């Protein structure tokens, strides 16, 4: 083969190669643009709660970009929004499978994506598949052990099953405690724990113990927030509840709790005189508890209770008027 012939062959080969590369780039560019177009439309439909239209667009997105994580994620979220927990129909079963399929595929692409892990765990939670959901929720803590919110998410998950098994209730409590251990100077952790204990199930005696333990956590919150009216009110409501709910206590024990509640709620009022809720609780404290435990002072307690309730209504009305004015000013 002559030198000229060789050069012509090489030039032809290079030209063909360039054509193929250019064509491939065009296809790649078009695919990316098409995927982004459909993904944008899908997100708009998703924000507008038009989940069926969003599904169509997310599926179109994946046709052009079959590895787009967020398209799989929100495709699964869209199916999940249409799914109805506890409904046993062929359509609902199909929605279940498609939700799990899309979210599982998203997780395969990004196995450490917290949002996807949480979303898939949430779906298993809706299906009441405790073991599968638990593994995913615990995975979130493994990935972000320093994030306090993760402990709360897992604790709330356990809380939903706590009434079924005592060992799950212990797991919930453990998670609330781990949240406190992660940041012991954060008062919110103590509030979460106290609230959980006050919502526990059990016999009257077991509930009383839970309320007593909750009071200890409210006290710890007050230690960190001594000037918080909300913290003092929470303790006062706990004391009021024990005096009102647990009739098996002696009159002397209940009266002491009621007087402690009076002191705590009064402290909340002193710290924030315009905070309506303490007045709302002070009313029934006088009328439903103190008036019964101190019958010789019943008339005075009823009058005091009415006065506090009137003040509560006044402050609520004032707050509503202020909110209305603020909304009008925004307009």
Write out pLDDT tens, residues 136-165. 999 999 999 988 889 999 999 999 998 888
**Residue 173 located in a structural domain:** no
Q: If pLDDT is split at 50, 70 and 90, which confidence band does 29 have?
A: low
The CATH number of the domain where 126 resides is what? 1.25.40.10
The token duo for 205 is: 């005696």
**Residue 180 located in a structural domain:** no
Q: Are residues 136 and 231 in the same domain?
A: no
Higher pLDDT pick, 311 / 28? 311
Q: Of 100, 125, 141, which closes a domain? A: 141
Distance of CA 142 to the CA centre of its chain: 19
**Residue 163 located in a structural domain:** no
The whole-angstrom separation of Cα 16 and Cα 20 is 6
**Residue 196 located in a structural domain:** no
Mean pLDDT of 294-304: 95
With a cut of 70, say whether residue 26 has pLDDT above it.
no
State the pLDDT at residue 319: 85
Q: If pLDDT is split at 50, 70 and 90, which confidence band does 75 have?
A: very high
State the pLDDT at residue 309: 95
Cα separation values, 250 from 208, 212, 224, 255, Å: 13, 16, 33, 9
With a cut of 50, say whether residue 79 has pLDDT above it.
yes
Please count the structural domains in the chain. Answer: 2
Q: Of 123, 141, 159, which closes a domain? A: 141
With a cut of 60, say whether residue 27 has pLDDT above it.
no
The whole-angstrom separation of Cα 189 and Cα 176 is 7
Name the residue range of residue 311's domain: 227-331
**Residue 277 located in a structural domain:** yes
With a cut of 50, say whether residue 186 has pLDDT above it.
yes
- Which residue, among 285, 330, 331, 324, has the nearest Cα to 304 in the 3D structure? 285
State the pLDDT at residue 320: 87
Q: Are residues 137 and 233 in the same domain?
A: no
Predicted TM-score (pTM) of the model is: 0.76
C-alpha dihedral sign at 257, 259, 265, 270: negative
Tokens 């005592």 -> residue: 166
State the pLDDT at residue 162: 86
Q: Of 93, 114, 141, which closes a domain? A: 141
User: What are the residues whose beta carbons fall under 8 Å from the beta carbon of 218, sequence distance 6 or more?
Assistant: 190, 191, 194, 231, 234, 235, 238
Mean pLDDT of 24-51: 81
Mean pLDDT of 18-26: 36
Mean pLDDT of 155-179: 90
**Residue 156 located in a structural domain:** no
Provide the strand spans (E) within the chain: none
C-alpha torsion 276→278→283→286, nearest 10: -160
Q: For residues 172 and 135, is the Cβ–Cβ distance under 8 A?
A: no
C-alpha dihedral sign at 45, 47, 50, 56: positive
**Residue 19 located in a structural domain:** no
Q: If pLDDT is split at 50, 70 and 90, which confidence band does 245 have?
A: very high
Mean pLDDT of 204-208: 94
Instruction: Using DSSP, state whether 261 is helix, strand or coil.
Output: helix
With a cut of 80, say whether residue 129 has pLDDT above it.
yes
Q: For residues 289 and 266, is the Cβ–Cβ distance under 8 A?
A: no
The whole-angstrom separation of Cα 179 and Cα 155 is 9
**Residue 7 located in a structural domain:** no
The whole-angstrom separation of Cα 215 and Cα 238 is 7
With a cut of 50, say whether residue 14 has pLDDT above it.
no
Contacts 24+ apart (CB under 8 A), 156-160: 157/121, 157/125, 157/133, 159/196, 159/199, 160/125
The whole-angstrom separation of Cα 114 and Cα 99 is 17
Mean pLDDT of 12-32: 44
The token duo for 35 is: 């995927």
Q: If pLDDT is split at 50, 70 and 90, which confidence band does 17 have?
A: very low
User: What are the residues whose beta carbons fall under 8 Å from the beta carbon of 98, sequence distance 6 or more?
Assistant: 76, 79
Q: If pLDDT is split at 50, 70 and 90, which confidence band does 322 have?
A: confident
With a cut of 80, say whether residue 113 has pLDDT above it.
yes
């Amino acid at each position: 083969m002559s030198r000229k012939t060789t050069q012509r062959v090489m030039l032809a080969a290079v030209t063909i190669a360039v054509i193929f590369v250019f064509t491939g780039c065009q296809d790649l560019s078009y695919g990316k643009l098409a995927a982004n177009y459909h993904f944008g439309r899908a997100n708009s439909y998703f924000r507008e709660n038009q989940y069926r239209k969003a599904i169509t667009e997310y599926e179109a997105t994946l046709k052009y970009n079959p590895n787009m994580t967020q398209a799989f994620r929100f495709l699964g979220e869209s199916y999940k929004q249409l799914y109805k927990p506890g409904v046993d129909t062929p359509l609902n079963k199909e929605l279940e499978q498609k939700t799990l399929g899309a979210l599982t595929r998203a997780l395969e692409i990004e196995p450490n994506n917290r949002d996807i892990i949480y979303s898939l765990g949430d779906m298993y939670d809706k299906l009441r598949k405790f073991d599968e959901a638990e593994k995913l929720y615990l995975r979130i803590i493994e990935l972000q052990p320093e994030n306090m919110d993760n402990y709360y998410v897992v604790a709330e998950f356990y809380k939903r099953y706590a009434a079924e098994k005592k060992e799950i209730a212990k797991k919930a409590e453990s998670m609330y405690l781990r949240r406190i251990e992660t940041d012991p100077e954060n008062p919110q952790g103590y509030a979460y724990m106290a609230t959980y204990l006050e919502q526990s199930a059990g016999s009257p005696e077991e509930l009383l113990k839970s309320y007593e333990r909750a009071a200890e956590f409210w006290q710890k919150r007050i230690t960190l927030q001594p000037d918080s009216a909300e913290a003092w009110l929470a303790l006062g409501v706990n004391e009021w509840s024990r005096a009102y709910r647990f009739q098996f206590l002696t009159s002397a024990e209940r009266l002491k709790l009621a007087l402690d509640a009076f002191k705590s709620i009064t402290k909340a009022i002193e710290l924030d005189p315009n905070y309506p809720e303490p007045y709302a609780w002070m009313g029934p404290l006088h009328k439903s508890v103190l008036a019964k435990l101190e019958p010789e002072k019943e008339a005075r307690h009823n009058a005091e209770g009415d006065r506090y309730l009137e003040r509560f209504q006044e402050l609520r009305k004032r707050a509503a008027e202020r909110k209305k004015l603020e909304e009008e000013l925004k307009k």
